Amino acid sequence: MKRFKEKTVIVTGAGSGIGRATAIRFAREGANVVLVGRTTQTLEETASEFPHDRTWIHTDNYLIVACDVSIQTQVKEMIKLVIDKFDKIDILVNNAGKAVQGKITELSAEEWKSAIDINLNGTFYVCQTAMPYLIASKGNIINVSSLSGMGGDWNMAAYNAAKAGVSNLTRTLALDHGADGVRINAVNPSVTKTGMSSSIQEDTVKTDKFIERCPMGRFATPEDVAAAITFLASDEAAMITGVNLPVDGGVSASSGQPRF
């Protein structure tokens, strides 16, 4: 099913993990995909996994842009390149992010700023720059927040603050731009099998504690999150906006009490 045929989709952080799985999913469903990230090589590796059924896809329907979303001038240039090639933006997926661990007494000012710049400011810059084109296309945005944007975690002060900002920015943008015909939602994954969560996956004690808390008994995969993103981006979600959708196997359903 080609739900996104002739749609232009931007995916930031497309070089690995959730971003890579999302870009591939959109390509398989017919979209023109713009892969955005800091490293051209990893973006090319993502593009190499795109399908090549020439009945619907051809070599000119994707674009690779090296861009640091925390730098506003680079974001503006990236959006210009997208418009120059495709003339429009239909869907924006803000996935670029960075995990920063530590209590507030342990974090340096540089670590705090880095978490805010990449996770929150980057999302703001891309949304702000792309919004006029999304209004023109009656498009939509999916921000990749986190379950950490919906509650607190131990030793994650900067990351939690940044992702909470993304979650509430999502709600506010949905209120401000619903009348423009633009839908804005977020997905909020818990621990997902990506490089960002390797410290948890490689620690059997942390893994066992998470599995005990998760009703479905496993980590999410990038493909699990990509499926939720493409649903929210599709016409099937035409009446859904302002939502922060947990993709967490039921972790957020718990009151926090231990299993008795």
Q: Which residue ranges form the domains of the chain, and what is each CATH number?
A: 8-247 (3.40.50.720)
Dihedral in degrees, nearest 10, Cα atoms 231, 237, 240, 243: 0
Query: In this predicted model, which residue has the larger pLDDT, 198 or 182?
Result: 182
125 carries an active-site annotation:
no
**pLDDT score, position 24:** 97
Q: Give the span between the Cα atoms of 36 and 209, in whole angstroms.
A: 35
CA angle 20, 172, 96 (to 5 degrees): 20
List the single range of 167-171, 191-195, 202-206, 217-221 with lowest mean pLDDT.
Answer: 202-206
3-state secondary structure of 140: strand
pLDDT tens for each residue of 80-119: 999 999 999 999 999 999 989 999 999 999 999 999 999 9
Show the DSSP H helices in the chain as ranges.
17-28, 40-47, 72-86, 109-115, 122-137, 157-177, 198-201, 204-213, 222-233
Largest CA-CA distance found in the chain, in angstroms, rounded: 59
pLDDT band at 56 (very low <50, low <70, confident <90, very high): very low
Which helix (H) or strand (E) segment is 119 a member of? none
Per the prediction, the chain carries an average pLDDT of 91
Task: Tell me: pLDDT of 62 over 70.
Answer: yes
Query: In this predicted model, which residue has the larger pLDDT, 139 or 99?
Result: 139
**Cα-based distances in Å from 41 to 46, 64, 128, 174:** 9, 10, 27, 34
**pLDDT score, position 97:** 93
| The residue to which tokens 């959730």 are assigned | 18
pLDDT band at 120 (very low <50, low <70, confident <90, very high): very high
pLDDT tens for each residue of 202-253: 556 566 676 777 777 788 899 999 999 999 999 999 999 999 999 988 888 8
Q: Give the span between the Cα atoms of 115 and 1, in whole angstroms.
A: 37
> How many residues does this entry show for the chain?
260
Task: Tell me: pLDDT of 49 over 70.
Answer: yes
Contacts of 73 (CB under 8 A, 6+ apart): none
Of the residues 62, 125, 133, 159, only one is catalytic, namely 159
Q: Is the pTM of this model over 0.85?
A: yes
Which helix (H) or strand (E) segment is 250 a member of? none
Q: Give the span between the Cα atoms of 12 and 37, in whole angstroms.
A: 6
Q: What is the mean pLDDT of residues 17-35?
A: 96
